[in-house]
Structure 1
Amino acid sequence: MNRAVERVVEDGAGDEDVDRREGQITGDGELCVRLRLSEDDVERVARRVVALLRGERDEAAPPESPYLSVPEAAAYLRCKRQRVDDLLSQRVLTRIKEGGRTLVARAEVEAHLRGEPTGRFARRRAA
């Protein structure tokens, strides 16, 4: 028995799950699964968690796109899609049409969050 399991057994933590079978869905909509990891797997997971906490990027992860879709911009701003549509209509943010999609520059959304002039306001100031 590994140390984590020994601790759970010794502390009595997790006793409420003892009668649940693997693959059984609880009333809370949770799925119970049993996962066995080697010590090497646990070490790799631990190293990855530390890297994420330090803000290191995964080399295999694709780079962030410089453009956001309207739903992505709304999620980034933590607002409703209608708010992004309003900012586009007011020309606070610049609309970029790509085929049938509407995109917004990530840098412009970030500048808007910092309170910097964006969209038509940035163009006026530059003129």
Structure 2
Amino acid sequence: MRTLAGQAWFDDPAVGAIYDLLDGAEGKARIVGGAVRNALIGMPVADIDFATVHRPESVMKRARKAGFKAIPTGIEHGTITIVAEGRPFEVTSLRRDVETDGRRAVVAFTEDWAE
């Protein structure tokens, strides 16, 4: 089984700083999506996304307090872009669809990773 530890992107200071500001060590944030997939299949990792239990407004506040630019990319659906060291990192709050018409969804934020 492959591991993510020891890969250059995993030890990137910007990735670590965002992970820390999201309380990743406390289980409140995870690296998700294509970065994980590509790392596991041995392909280059181009972009890194995070999921977190923190709500979008909290993510923005934490990012700005840490000195990063925070952009409300899709704040109504829980997505914030944090710019760290000149690079964008998407952070999406855990959510569930309350109502959807197949294209647009009304979401409710949650802290449940299984939901």
Give the structure-1-normalised TM-score: 0.23
For the pair shown, the structure with the greater C-alpha radius of gyration is 1
If each structure's strand is expressed as a fraction of its own residues, which one has the higher value?
2
If each structure's helix is expressed as a fraction of its own residues, which one has the higher value?
1
Give the structure-2-normalised TM-score: 0.24
Structure with higher RCO (Cα < 8 A, 6+ apart)? 2
